[in-house]
Amino acid sequence: MMKITSYDAEQASVLQIVNMMASAAKTAPKGLGINRIDTLVLTEDDMMPIIEEMKKTAYDYKMAYFLRDAESLEKSQALVLIGTTYGCGAIEVLSLVGLCGNIDCATNSKKGHLHL
């Protein structure tokens, strides 16, 4: 018989969830069918450099929401980072401006796609 504390169960659940989040980001439909997404999961001490940088940014640039988010992250057990390998590959299409696959925002808008 195995005994699992509530803390251990919660930690295992968090890791399971962040792994599913990372997998979902990686397997989501991509523009032009090209996968440019990469993920990284950080836990505990590995999150501290990001938290410290967020706090520094909050003070240096007077962006209170960075401090709020850093404080929230301090209370979190894990962080899922989702990024793009855009521009790092040898595929010609990666030279496009946006991840949407259009040459520029104006073209994207003309096609009726969301433009932020």
pLDDT digit string (tens) for 46-61?
A: 999 999 999 999 999 9
Q: CA 4 to CA 61: how far, in whole Å?
A: 45
Q: How far is CA 63 from CA 54, 60, 68, 69, 100, in A?
A: 9, 8, 9, 10, 29
Which of 67-71, 88-92, 94-98 is the least confident region?
88-92
pLDDT digit string (tens) for 12-44?
A: 999 999 999 999 988 876 666 777 788 999 999
Alpha helices in the chain (DSSP H): 6-27, 48-60, 64-74, 105-110
Please report, for the chain, the start and end positions of each structural domain, with discontinuous segments joined by +.
Answer: 6-85
| pLDDT number for residue 50 | 96
pTM for the predicted model, two decimal places: 0.68
